[in-house]
Amino acid sequence: MTRLVANRRQVVIGLAATSALPNMGFAQSMSPKYGGTLKISHSTRIATLNVMQLSGPAEYPCVDMLYSGLTRIQPGRNSAGPDLATSWEANEDATRFTYNLRQGVTFHDGTPFTSADVVATYEAILDPDFGSPARSVLDVIDSVEAVDDHTVQFNLNAPYADLAISTAHANARIVSAAALAGDRNDLETKPNGTGPFMLESYDSARITRLVRFDNYYMEGQPYLDAVEMHLFPDLAAETANYLSGNVDVMLNVQQADFARIAAAEGSNALRVPAGRYVNVVMRQDQPPFDDVRLRKALAMSVDRQLLVDLVLEGLGRPAYDNILSPEFQYAIETPGIPYDPAAAKALLAEAGYPDGIKLTMVASNRPAIRGQVAIAIKEMARPAGFDIDVEAMPHDTYLANVWRKGNFYMAYWGMQPTEDATFNLLLTSTASYEDTAWFNEEFDELVRRGRSTSDPAERAAIYAEAQEIQLRDTPYIIAMYQDVLTASRDWVEGWIVHPLNRVFFIESVWLNRG
């Protein structure tokens, strides 16, 4: 067997290379001080605390504080390190993995953490009726067995190079077996994890407060007494409260405010290149988006650099419809798509719309970038014959009535840790959040082969072919990659920015108020 010890930087058994992530921000510290309440502002509602099913940007820091996974994405790297598992090992063909669990860990209610909780969590994830987004990434697992109280074995249906990274999935944090055996609706509002903080109060429309868990397995942490998540639906009010010092951290800074926040006295603004993007969703099981010529025409009607300049205020990069940004190990060099309204108009006519076409595009009002991109595309595409009416709506209404149902709308996604996780989030036929009805058997097979291949060169060729199919068919228009922007006051030490925006390491944050 090949063993991965706790301090190795390689992904499991060295099958997938790690990569350093650029310009990740770290607040510097000397001797941490204990106490105080960290106030974090956010602009989107914390709709649920069900770690196994959530997907909202303000929900991720909450569950990162409340729960632990078997492994955890590491600061500054796109690789997995220990969390509730101290080490793991694989057989020769990477179809069976054994995880050695940390001992002496308890849940917030005082019950001990054992292998039974791991088995129950992964059986829930793999249950198609439960609907966990982690399932499409972890469905390579055939079964999970408790070898003893502190050892679990994963039996896979194929070799899988990314298992250690996949067990760090944000929706794969360990939930107690007792909670999963009870009323699972309680997971929405009554989290019981092993993380550094535990829930004191939950008000999704105002303030969610977490307090220090004294029995956290990492001795001496967390440093803070409490963390409060403050909702500000009014973005101007959020910025004003940060600049006045009423909140300590802005979870996400709007592009238009970044320069002002960066220049403000006592403010630390952080910017990290990432694979985050707004994408145009076009359902291909109904006209007019079932015609690739129309999708290509719209793609040619978007001035990508101008979008970066106008909407992102330069805080990002143009993208050319590849779901993989350059930060991914196996991302190919994507051909540019010049802004060419005349060619787009000709292609639109070829698709059967010589006099142009009228469409309604829906955009949620959160985050604001969705509507900004929609309005910009509306104007950019007009010379090509696209008459687009943009319909803005509250985010909760959008989630209930449009997301994964509508045929033309703006979506928004953060960067995923691996190529496999990215493809299985949105593009495969069984993707967790499949929303375009773009079903391509050849693409699905390539993704299956890629996750089972250990040779880096062979894997690169497989993923390159998959990307070429995606670019050929244009299931999405992805016009730009958005930098991750956040800010903290100068008395906040240890605030970390990670491109994935899924892990925050708030147990290491402390307040240095003198």
Q: Pairing state of beta strands 37-42 and 249-250? A: parallel
Distances (CA, A) of 472 to 212, 349, 468: 50, 20, 6
Distances (CA, A) of 77 to 21, 23, 328: 5, 11, 12
Q: Which two tokens stand for residue 321?
A: 């419809």
Closest CA to 126 of 118, 138, 117: 138
Helix or strand run (H / E) with residue 154: strand 151-156
What pLDDT is attached to residue 2?
35
Determine the Cα–Cα distance for residues 308 and 305; give it in Å rounded to an integer: 5
Residue 38: strand, helix, or coil: strand
Determine the Cα–Cα distance for residues 336 and 350; give it in Å rounded to an integer: 22
Residue 401: strand, helix, or coil: helix
- Residues 6+ positions from 11 with CB-CB distance below 8 Å: 17, 18, 79, 80, 161, 162, 164, 165
Residue pair 272/22 in contact (Cβ under 8 Å)? The answer is: yes
The per-residue b/e assignment along 48-64, b for 16 or more CB within 10 angstroms, e otherwise, is: bbbbbbbbbbbbbbbbb
- Residues 6+ positions from 397 with CB-CB distance below 8 Å: none
Closest CA to 505 of 177, 119, 152, 25: 25
Closest CA to 47 of 228, 209, 205: 205
Determine the Cα–Cα distance for residues 79 and 434; give it in Å rounded to an integer: 26
Residue pair 492/337 in contact (Cβ under 8 Å)? The answer is: no
- Residues 6+ positions from 326 with CB-CB distance below 8 Å: none
Calculate the CA 105 to chain-centre distance: 27
pTM: 0.83
What pLDDT is attached to residue 497?
84
Determine the Cα–Cα distance for residues 276 and 279; give it in Å rounded to an integer: 10
Closest CA to 249 of 39, 439, 451, 406: 39
DSSP letters for 479-501 = -EEEEEEEEEETTEES-B--TTS
What residues pair up with 147 in beta bridges, in sequence order? none
**If you compute the radius of gyration of the chain from its CA atoms, what whole number of angstroms results?**
23
Determine the Cα–Cα distance for residues 125 and 134; give it in Å rounded to an integer: 6
Determine the Cα–Cα distance for residues 78 and 24; give it in Å rounded to an integer: 11
Residue pair 73/500 in contact (Cβ under 8 Å)? The answer is: yes
Residue pair 399/409 in contact (Cβ under 8 Å)? The answer is: no
Local confidence pLDDT in tens for the 514 residues of the chain: 333 333 322 223 323 333 444 444 444 447 999 999 999 999 989 999 999 998 788 999 999 999 999 999 988 667 899 999 999 999 988 899 999 999 999 999 999 999 999 999 999 999 999 989 899 889 999 999 999 999 999 999 988 978 999 999 999 999 999 999 999 999 999 999 999 999 999 999 899 999 999 999 999 999 999 999 999 999 999 999 999 999 999 999 998 899 999 999 999 999 999 999 999 999 999 999 999 999 999 999 999 999 999 999 999 999 999 999 998 999 999 999 999 999 999 999 999 999 999 999 999 998 889 999 999 999 999 999 999 999 999 999 999 999 999 999 999 998 988 899 899 999 999 998 999 999 999 999 999 999 888 789 999 999 999 999 999 999 999 999 999 999 999 999 999 888 888 899 999 999 998 6
Residue pair 477/265 in contact (Cβ under 8 Å)? The answer is: no
DSSP state of 111: P
Helix or strand run (H / E) with residue 228: strand 226-231
Determine the Cα–Cα distance for residues 196 and 214; give it in Å rounded to an integer: 8
Helical H segments across 67-174, by residue range: 115-126, 135-138, 163-166
Please give the backbone phi and psi of residue 161, each rounded to the nearest 5 degrees, phi first.
Answer: -70, -25
